[in-house]
Amino acid sequence: MEQFEPKLVAFVCNWCTYAGADLTGTSRIKYATNVRIIRFPCTGRIDFMLISKAFANGADGVIVSGCHPNDCHYTSGNFHARRRWMSFNAMLTFMGIDPERIIFSWVSAAEGAKWADIVNQSVEKIRKIGPFTEYQKLVQSGIEEENFNG
Amino acid sequence: MDNLRKKAKELLESKTVDLVIGYENGTNGKARAVFIKDPEKTGKLIYDDRCKQNLAVYLNKHEVKHYGKIAIVAPLMVMRSVLVLVSECQLKPENIVVLGIGEDGSLLDFPSLEVVEKYIAKIPLGNPEPDQVIIDKLNAMSMEQRREFWQNELERCFKCYACRAACPMCYCLRCTVECNQPQWISAPAHPLGNLEWHQLRTMHLTGRCVSCGDCGRACPLNIPIHLLTMQQAEEAFHMFGVRAGTSQKADSALSTYKPDDKENFIL
């Protein structure tokens, strides 16, 4: 049987992780190709709804990453984001949606190697957990209902 | 109750306030909200166990706001909601008179919101006991069981948004759920859209919910959605040390931060 190739979406901030991922490339470090990187101005811009949307559109896992605390280009965007993620994590856990499919990390512009590690580890982790069928079932039920309603 | 009526009458007669919001006897033995402008009609006011609705929900309504200065019959949850609305600049402190109701149902004298803050500071806050028991029970379940529980409950939701209408903190004139470019929440009431809607509601109320439970009471299908926001209220207290509605100046949990917020899941 063929190996399951998970789809991952990475929401990264423009100033640290995106530049870090760039460094990974220019340093010629190879990493898993399962990840689609989406650039944001700041982690403070990464709304929790975007994560939901990623899952609804077929992602098996999501990586969210930005500047280390105290390194935010806008001073406090990542601090605000951290509180939001902590709350989101708590809410998902209470609703019975395992937050292990969402990987949060801090990757600076100098940490090209760390970015490659994060991606490789995340892909391995999601591969082990398998496809996000529970969520896909929810999506499917939505599509069926919409078709039924015309 | 007589004290409450007398005080309301005084306030209206002296034109200290233009409107009194309180509870009156409704149909079927239920209590309902009443809006009194005429001092002679203050005899309608009641307060007893049936008065559960969070009246603060009306304070931010356009039709009510234009009256000017308002007195509100306020058990603890209403007092806290008033403080949240003031802290979020939705209500001017000079436009509100709090007719506080103590835990024994007696009238409390609150000349200013500072006194309300002091009163609240002395009371142990948290979720109502019966709700906290269910939350603890849910937290003791496995992830799988919890998912099943919420899926079964939320499946019934037909998106009437009564929960939103009942909540004093859900005052946005244009809610994300009505936004269709992009469409954040799918409009029909199917499991995915329902889950997304309740996630949105819960997250937007994190650190702002005063645990009044009105969203759950408003639900025509008795879905215990108030547990979601109540659980988040507890979480916000444990993680960030803040409770909503304790001060008229405080920022809500998610609109502020501490550089040393503790978490254990960010790599």
Take residue B122 and report the two structure tokens written for it. 């002395």
- pLDDT, residue B133, reads 92
**Minimal CA separation from A73 to chain B, in Å:** 15
Percent pLDDT > 70 in chain A is 95
Per-residue pLDDT tens for A80-130?
A: 999 999 999 999 999 998 888 999 999 999 998 999 999 999 999 999 988
CA angle B216, B220, B222 (to 5 degrees): 50
Let me know whether B97 and B142 are in one domain. no
Q: Are residues B104 and B220 in the same domain?
A: no
Final residue of a structural domain among B74, B91, B121:
B121
Using a CB-CB cut-off of 8 Å, the residues of chain A touching B186 are: 142, 146
In a domain, B73, yes or no: yes
Kindly state the percentage of chain A with pLDDT values over 90.
53
Supply the pTM of this predicted model: 0.90
Contacts of B232 in chain A (CB under 8 A): 87, 90-91, 94
User: What would the DSSP string read from start to end of A105-122?
Assistant: EE--TT-HHHHHHHHHHH
- Domain assignment present for residue B265? The answer is no
Question: Distance between CA B19 and CA B11 in Å, rounded?
Answer: 9
Q: Which of B81, B98, B121 corresponds to the end of one domain?
A: B121
Q: What average pLDDT does range A55-60 have in this prediction? A: 90
Based on the domain organization, do B28 and B52 belong to the same domain? yes
In angstroms, rounded to a whole number, what is the distance separating the alpha carbons of residues A48 and B204? 10
**Considering its fold, how many domains does chain B have in total?**
2
- What pLDDT is stored for residue B13 in this prediction? 92
Please report, for residues A82, A107, B267, the alpha-carbon distance to residue B260 in angstroms, rounded to integers and kept in the order given. 10, 18, 16
pLDDT, position A135? 85
User: pLDDT at residue B253 above 60?
Assistant: yes
Whether B8 maps to a domain, the answer reads yes
Set of chain A residues whose Cβ sits within 8 Å of the Cβ of B200: 49
B152 within a domain of the structure (yes/no):
yes
Range of the domain at B145: 129-255
Judged by CB atoms closer than 8 Å, whether chains meet at B138 and A94 is answered as yes
Provide φ and ψ at A52, rounded to 5°.
Answer: -60, -40
**pLDDT for the residue A145:** 66
> Among residues B92, B121, B150, which one ends one of the domains?
B121
Looking at the structure, tell me whether residues B136 and B102 fall in a common domain. Answer: no
Nearest CA-CA partner of B6 in B139, B78, B109, B153: B109
Chain A: give the shortest CA distance to residue B168, in Å: 21
Asked whether residue B232 carries a pLDDT value surpassing 90, the answer given is: yes
C-alpha angle with apex B63: B59 to B66, nearest 5 degrees? 80
Query: Looking at this predicted complex, what is its ipTM?
Result: 0.88
The confidence score (pLDDT) of residue A122 equals 93
Asked whether residue B22 is assigned to any structural domain, the reply reads yes
The domain made up of A8-148 is a member of CATH 3.30.310: no
**Range of B176-190, B194-208, B246-260 with top mean pLDDT:** B194-208
Cα–Cα distance for residue pair B194/A9, rounded to 1 Å = 23
